[in-house]
């Protein structure tokens, strides 16, 4: 029997499922991925933090305004308050030693004041390997492309709309399954009367992954609310603290998760990050800490993050590496 007509060896597949079921990200969404050989595709990768900067800060990003090149994956409306005009980024995530994800993105603020603009993003996800009866190795895979438009609708308020198309395959020769979803974002940004009024705070909101089912499975829709404080002590030293709350909407994975993270820029070039993620061990990624670092040689910045997670956590031994480049300075 040819490989594309046969089913995977059930016993090894069951063993793999039992070994990793405690690790599943959004159990109701990820389980179909491991059952991909039975013809079910999954969009679970949408809930994995795709960039090293946010990953080093426990996945926070709903209200951070200096991550313009990756903001499309968090809350595109924050780009309106970025201090940069144009940038691009690439990241790779090695997740639990078995999963991998590539991501790339770009943004551009239009006009002299940059009150509106666009961003585009791409993600490619590879699931854990399994073996067919003939010994051949295979895995589920998925990718998505997205485009966002953001605009200042008031002095301190911006809105964004992100359109996303995603496609997934349960295994190499399976039929591709597609879905369309949207994200809605909003940000409110204000300066603070300290540190020569250079300090600022931001509140961000996002309704994400709202769309059609993928191969009969619900998308990991969520509502998110976050806040961030930016404290530039000098031109070369700056502290940023962020706090995010996300509520997962699918009934099988409904729960509240939160992340708190901090980033400190020092001596002009160095960056250190840390954070902690709070979640449900049965329905999500669970509880884990994060560490991150970076080096910033304008216009290029390189970032690295690592998850401090127990063996039973999906994020165990997860690391991410990213690089970003700015092309234009902000007009102030």
Q: What is the pLDDT of residue 128?
A: 60
- Which residues form the domain of 192? 3-329
Is residue 317 within 8 A of residue 96, CB to CB? The reply is yes
Q: What is the pLDDT of residue 307?
A: 96
One DSSP character per residue, 269-321 reads TEEEEEEEEE--TTTSS-SEEEEEEEEEETTEEEEEEEEE--TTSTTTT-EEE
- Taking only the tens place, the pLDDT of each residue in 297-318 is 989 999 999 999 998 888 889 9
CA angle, 19 then 255 then 321, to 5°: 60
Number of domain units in the chain? 1
Q: What is the pLDDT of residue 303?
A: 98
Supply the CATH number for residue 304's domain. 2.40.160.40
- Residue 272 CA to residue 291 CA, distance in Å, equals 8
- Taking only the tens place, the pLDDT of each residue in 201-250 is 999 999 999 998 888 888 999 999 999 999 999 888 999 999 999 999 98
Q: What is the pLDDT of residue 135?
A: 60
The mean pLDDT value for 310-332 works out to 85
Q: Could you tell me what percent of the chain has a pLDDT over 90? A: 56
Residue reference for tokens 């009367």: 193
**pLDDT above 60: residue 254:** yes
**pLDDT above 90: residue 64:** yes
Bridge partner list, 307: 290
- The larger pLDDT score, comparing residue 276 to residue 126, is at 276
Instruction: Tell me the pLDDT band of 330, cut-offs 50, 70 and 90.
Output: low
Q: What is the pLDDT of residue 24?
A: 39
Judge if the upstream peptide bond of residue 299 is cis by omega within 30 degrees of 0.
Answer: yes
One DSSP character per residue, 23-66 reads G-SSHHHHHHHHTGGGT----GGGGS--SHHHHHTTT--SS-SS
Is residue 301 within 8 A of residue 84, CB to CB? The reply is no
- The larger pLDDT score, comparing residue 59 to residue 197, is at 59
**pLDDT above 60: residue 28:** no
- Taking only the tens place, the pLDDT of each residue in 74-109 is 999 999 999 899 999 999 999 888 888 999 999 999
Burial of 188 (0-12, 13-18, 19+ CB in 10 A): middle
Whose CA is closest to 159, among 202, 205, 226, 120? 205
- Taking only the tens place, the pLDDT of each residue in 116-125 is 999 999 999 8
One DSSP character per residue, 67-99 reads -TTTGGGT-GGGGGG-SEEEEEEEEEEEETTTE
């Amino acid at each position: 029997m040819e490989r594309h007509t046969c089913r995977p060896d059930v016993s090894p597949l069951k063993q793999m499922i039992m070994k990793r079921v405690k690790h599943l990200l959004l159990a109701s969404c990820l389980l179909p991925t491991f059952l991909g050989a039975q013809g079910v595709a999954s969009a679970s990768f949408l809930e994995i933090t795709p960039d090293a900067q946010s990953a080093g800060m426990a996945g926070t990003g709903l209200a951070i305004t200096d991550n313009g090149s990756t903001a499309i994956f968090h809350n595109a409306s924050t780009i309106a308050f970025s201090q940069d005009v144009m940038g691009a980024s690439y990241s790779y995530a090695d997740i639990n030693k078995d999963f991998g994800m590539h991501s790339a993105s770009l943004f551009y603020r239009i006009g002299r004041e940059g009150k509106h603009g666009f961003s585009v993003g791409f993600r490619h996800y590879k699931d854990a390997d399994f073996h067919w009866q003939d010994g051949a190795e295979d895995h589920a895979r998925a990718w998505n492309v997205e485009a966002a438009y953001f605009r200042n609708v008031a002095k301190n308020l911006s809105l964004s709309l992100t359109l996303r198309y995603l496609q997934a395959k349960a295994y190499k020769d399976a039929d591709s399954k597609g879905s369309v979803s949207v994200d809605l974002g909003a940000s409110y940004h204000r300066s603070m009367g300290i540190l020569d009024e250079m300090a600022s705070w931001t509140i961000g909101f996002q309704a994400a992954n709202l769309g059609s089912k993928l191969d009969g499975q619900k998308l990991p829709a969520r509502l998110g609310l976050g806040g961030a404080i930016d404290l530039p002590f000098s031109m070369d030293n700056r502290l940023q603290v962020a706090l995010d709350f996300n509520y997962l909407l699918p009934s099988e994975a409904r729960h509240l998760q939160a992340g708190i993270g901090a980033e400190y820029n020092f001596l002009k070039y160095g960056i250190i990050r840390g954070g902690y993620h709070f979640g449900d061990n049965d329905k999500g990624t669970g509880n884990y800490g994060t560490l991150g670092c970076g080096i910033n040689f304008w216009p290029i910045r390189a970032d690295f993050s690592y998850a401090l997670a127990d063996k039973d956590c999906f994020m165990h031994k997860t690391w991410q590496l990213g690089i970003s480049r700015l092309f234009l300075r902000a007009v102030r």
